Amino acid sequence: MTTNRSDIAASSRSTDMGSLAVLFAALLWGTTGTAAHFNQDVSPLATGAFAMGIGGLLQAMIARPNIMGCLSLLLAQKRWVLLGAVCVVIYPLAFYSSLHLAGVAIGTVITIATSPLAAAILERLFGHHRLTLSWYLSLALGIAGVVMMAVGETATHGGDIAAISAGGDTMGTGSGSVSDAHWQRLTGILLGIIAGTTYAAYSLIARCMMDHGTHARAAMGSLFGVAGIALIAGLGLSMLVADPRLFATPGNTSLALYMALVPMFLGYIAFGYGLKTVAASKATLLTLFEPLVAALLAVTIVGEHIAPLGWLGMALIAVCLVIQVKPATA
């Protein structure tokens, strides 16, 4: 009985540490929007490819001993590795393009809200993880909070939209401009759904690989290493052909390196550690911390204003996170 209680306590502590690691990753990811604000002349595809590509290659490098130790197991799981790597490639390209087309608020809302729902559906279809009432409650609070934040930001910046709508046919295009903007927004929303789904998918794949004996660093390093090679190769072609601005100035270079080394490299190291003990559905829900951090940085550093509805949404997200990280009762 004593051993059993000791094992339960140790498991609870491990889960708590995993939750904190995921929150730390979300904290780092929440800085990317503010960083991108100071680098607006660079293509979102180039930003995403470089950040995730370099971060992925660095993860593979530090995980090399673990990858070699699990090489036979990784070869047996090669289909999962390739599928996970494809999801890792798609995620940053879809996410940053969603922000560019639909706006930061809407793109982030769709991606973040889609992730836990997609993770829950995938775990139901391919896993045996059972979701608790507290998970559903915190999901509802979290999504409501993120939507309130988006609506609050839209209301704050709605004057620009109203001005455009009231401007009439100033460019001679009539309702075509409004229609184009509408389809651009819809495309951004679709890309946000794709980003959230692929994020949930590679998180679940990595967790499944760990559950089948693959070391956490080997699982994350293999997925992100393969994806990193593809992303950097594609980025090199893009820079030669279409968009050479990523390193055009010292500021651009510094921001590109920050995005790759801190949110994408260090953030995903922490996220991989958290996935060892936290289910993918819970981990994706904990990353609702990301828009909370992003909003606070936008206010304190960028100088943006958040409407009262947005602050209420932030409070709901905080309650959601408290529910998820509270210690489980034995």
pLDDT tens profile 35-77: 877 776 777 778 888 888 999 999 999 999 999 999 999 999 9
DSSP codes joined into one string, 112-126: HHHHHHHHHHHHHHH
Owner of token pair 């595809």: 45
Query: What does the pLDDT read at residue 171?
Result: 39
DSSP codes joined into one string, 233-274: HHHHHHHHHT--GGGSSHHHHHHHHHHIIIIIIIHHHHHHHH
pLDDT tens profile 182-214: 788 888 889 988 999 999 999 999 989 998 899
Alpha carbon distances (Å) from 162 to 99, 166, 177, 261: 21, 6, 14, 40
Calculate the CA 285 to chain-centre distance: 11
Read off the amino acid at residue 140.
Answer: A
Query: What does the pLDDT read at residue 313?
Result: 82
**What distance in Å separates the CA atoms of residue 104 and residue 92, rounded to the nearest whole number?**
14
CB 215 within 8 A of CB 131: no
Query: What does the pLDDT read at residue 238?
Result: 63
- Name residues of the chain where pLDDT drops below 50: 1, 3, 159-175, 329-330
Cα dihedral sign for 106, 111, 113, 118?
A: positive
pTM above 0.85, yes or no: no
Q: Collapsing DSSP states into helix, strand and coil, what is residue 242?
A: coil
Query: What does the pLDDT read at residue 178?
Result: 59
Query: What does the pLDDT read at residue 222?
Result: 95
Query: What does the pLDDT read at residue 75?
Result: 94
**What distance in Å separates the CA atoms of residue 30 and residue 122, rounded to the nearest whole number?**
25
Query: What does the pLDDT read at residue 310?
Result: 78
